[in-house]
Structure 1
Amino acid sequence: MNTHSFHPLTKAATLCCALGLAIGLAGCGGSTNPTPSEQESSPSSASSGAKLEGVSADGKPGQKPKISFKTPLTVTDKASAVLQEGDGDALQDGDHLCVRSVAVNAKDGKELDSTWEKGAPDCQIVVDHKTYGQYYDAFKSMKVNGTLGVGINDASGKAAGDNAYVMALTVVSKFKPLARATGEKARNIPADLPKVTLASNGKPSLDLNNYKPTDKLVAQPLITGNGPKVKADQSITAHYTGWLASDGKQFDSSWDKGEPADFSLDGVVKGWKQGLAGQTVGSQVLLVVPPSLGYGSSAQKGIPANSTLIFVVDILAAH
């Protein structure tokens, strides 16, 4: 869902991620250090309001459902239906949803892929009419542990075939991230570090302050939040801005995109994982990432090879 020039993620694409991109409900990268075109997931507009017919989900809410239908199933692309309403808290505007998914072939009913057995849930769906208008009413009628079925047919959209699937998305949890870092301002910040000032909306700006980076990671809290500690195997929702330590040039900022980003700490560059794990939700952290914990000798868009990188990261949620 989020598109950024810099993206410190390394994710292997799975079939379910590809299906998520196809329906505009989730975003997954398909390569190491993906570019914006690889990350982008546009809101769906096709087949608005079409209902997914003849599909059922059996099993205890919140656990992997068994998806059933008479085969072969005729699938209208992006048709949807609530298969299980759920038994947890009701979904509300602005909720970020963490989902597990299973994809089933419309031709023979066989399971193609599932995220129930691997990694953490995907938490990039937001209950937002502007972004997910086609599915908004369905989400608003659901609760946590509910399952939404979505038809995917990237062929004709009319007949079942090798390119037709049913994807079942189960909401296993939800959260609402903070808008910006909030907590107690840190004291006794080393005087030789770069200086950070904040705009009224929270976006940071940087004064290098004649800073001379070393080969060591710096993870200096600027604001200490009062939320839970971030675990090394979690994902975070964060606002961030990044600059080159060599000249202070900004190469990216989520603030300029108008929305925070979601990052798995199992997939980020080492400096992010080492510097953010153990920090608390609500914190703002100044990271100075040496090349050995960043991109090393590999140049990225806007980032020369062997660059030391400076970030200011607002940790808005951990999940």
Structure 2
Amino acid sequence: MCLTLAACGDSSKADDSSSKSGNSSSKSSESSSDSSDKSSLKNLKQIAGITATGELGKKPTIELANTPMTVADGSYAVLQKGDGKEVSADDRVCVQGIAVNVKDGSELDSTWEKNTPDCSWDLTSSQLNEAYKELFVGQKVNATIAIGVNDSNSAGTSYIMALTIVSAEPDPTKATGEEVKDVPSDLPKVTRAKDGKPSIDMNGYKGSDKLVVQPLIKGSGAKVEESSSVKVQYTGWLLDGTQFDSSWDKGTPTSFSLSQVIKGWTQGLAGQTVGSQVLLVVPPDLGYGSSATGSIPANSTLVFVVDILATY
């Protein structure tokens, strides 16, 4: 079971080269499904007979009018109108979630107690269902939205995900932290265009048999964990300065789980923070080893410059 559709179904893939506030006054809000007509939602059914009560921005009480009930997979209802910032199509949305069993109305899971909101709802992602993008866009922070999950697991557990929007902000387009002043002089030299795209001078660098992780810009955002997914901009070069891949040249950042990429990326990005730019020197044993991969020869040491835009 998972608490959000993004976690269940928005499994962003890594690129082949790398693995590839609203008002908090004490008021409550209660409603059934939103009757607004959004044409992009026409293929989603609305859920009847479910309400949410409680102070906006805090864990709501979810009640089902009748149990047991059935829900269509992907059905929805807007249970509470928010009172904060309006969500835009450029935002990354973070939600707190409650899973409610539609068989008896019992709570199956919740992120509220441990304060672990899910921030995988990137409304700019092509992998997120367009109808769900439209469902979020125009809502306000502290809104609560119910989404039905008709699960096909062996237990047959169908449930409601009650998702409360706790933040909505666009991801940065490049590293946004403070420039690191004490970068070792014998490493490759990185310069950046106005838009943030990096260029590199190998500076006579001959590589390393160990992973080199050198922050060039130190961000102040969330810490990346080994189990995290990240959204990044990156460029990769061979030691002779040949560029073999770049998300910048493709015109869009890439997102992936750190469990999907080469070990040099997993080990090198874990512990770094959002807003950082990191220089990685990845020896062959933490890259592609003795296998040639695309334009990367066998036994290649790889040099990457990675801007960390988000983690979730």
Shared fold (TM-score, shorter chain, > 0.5): yes
Are residues 114 and 246 of structure 1, via their aligned partners in 2, closer, same or farther at CA, if it must alter by over 3 Å? Answer: farther
- Could you tell me which runs of 5 or more consecutive residues in structure 1 were left unpaired when the two chains were aligned: 1-14, 37-44, 156-160
Mapping for residues 160-199 of structure 1, pairs under 5 Å: 162-181=156-175, 192-196=186-190
Normalised by the length of structure 2, the TM-score is 0.65
Question: In the alignment, is residue 258 of structure 1 matched against residue 252 of structure 2?
Answer: yes
The aligned residue for residue 42 of structure 1 is none
Corresponding residue SS for 2:187: coil
Q: Aligned equivalents of 2:73 and 2:240: distance in 1?
A: 49
Normalised by the length of structure 1, the TM-score is 0.64
Question: In the alignment, is residue 285 of structure 1 matched against residue 278 of structure 2?
Answer: yes
CA-CA distance at 1:251 after TM superposition: 6.0
Question: In the alignment, is residue 212 of structure 1 matched against residue 206 of structure 2?
Answer: yes
Residue 212 of structure 1 aligns with an amino acid whose one-letter code is: K
Are residues 117 and 306 of structure 1, via their aligned partners in 2, closer, same or farther at CA, if it must alter by over 3 Å? Answer: farther
Contact 1:105/1:165, CA 8 A, preserved across alignment: yes
Contact 2:229/2:255, CA 8 A, preserved across alignment: no
**Alpha-carbon displacement from aligned partner over 1:79-108 (angstroms, at most 9, x marks no partner):** 111112223222223121111222222223
Q: CA RMSD in A?
A: 4.6
Q: Aligned equivalents of 1:18 and 1:148: distance in 2?
A: 11
Q: How many residues of Structure 1 are paired with residues of Structure 2 in the alignment?
A: 277
Contact 2:202/2:240, CA 8 A, preserved across alignment: no
CA-CA distance at 1:184 after TM superposition: 8.0
Contact 1:296/1:306, CA 8 A, preserved across alignment: yes
CA-CA distance at 1:149 after TM superposition: 0.7
Corresponding residue SS for 1:16: coil
Mapping for residues 1-319 of structure 1, pairs under 5 Å: 15-16=1-2, 19-22=5-8, 24=9, 26-27=10-11, 48-69=43-64, 70-118=66-114, 120-127=116-123, 131-154=128-151, 162-181=156-175, 192-196=186-190, 202-204=196-198, 206=200, 208-214=202-208, 215=210, 217-221=212-216, 224=217, 228=220, 231=223, 237-243=231-237, 250=244, 253=247, 256=250, 258-261=252-255, 269-274=266-271, 276-277=272-273, 281=275, 283-289=276-282, 309-316=302-309
Contact 2:146/2:160, CA 8 A, preserved across alignment: yes
Residue 167 of structure 1 aligns with an amino acid whose one-letter code is: M
Are residues 180 and 192 of structure 1, via their aligned partners in 2, closer, same or farther at CA, if it must alter by over 3 Å? Answer: same
Q: Which has the larger radius of gyration?
A: 2
Q: Aligned equivalents of 2:186 and 2:93: distance in 1?
A: 41
Q: Aligned equivalents of 1:150 and 1:189: distance in 2?
A: 48
- Could you tell me which runs of 5 or more consecutive residues in structure 2 were left unpaired when the two chains were aligned: 21-39
**Alpha-carbon displacement from aligned partner over 1:165-209 (angstroms, at most 9, x marks no partner):** 211221111222222246887778655423446578644455545
Residue 177 of structure 1 aligns with an amino acid whose one-letter code is: D
Q: Aligned equivalents of 1:120 and 1:238: distance in 2?
A: 22
Contact 1:237/1:263, CA 8 A, preserved across alignment: no
Are residues 17 and 301 of structure 1, via their aligned partners in 2, closer, same or farther at CA, if it must alter by over 3 Å? Answer: farther
Residue 278 of structure 2 aligns with an amino acid whose one-letter code is: V
- Percent of aligned positions that are identical: 42
Q: Aligned equivalents of 1:96 and 1:289: distance in 2?
A: 30
Corresponding residue SS for 2:269: helix
Are residues 119 and 57 of structure 1, via their aligned partners in 2, closer, same or farther at CA, if it must alter by over 3 Å? Answer: closer
Contact 1:85/1:141, CA 8 A, preserved across alignment: no
Corresponding residue SS for 2:270: helix
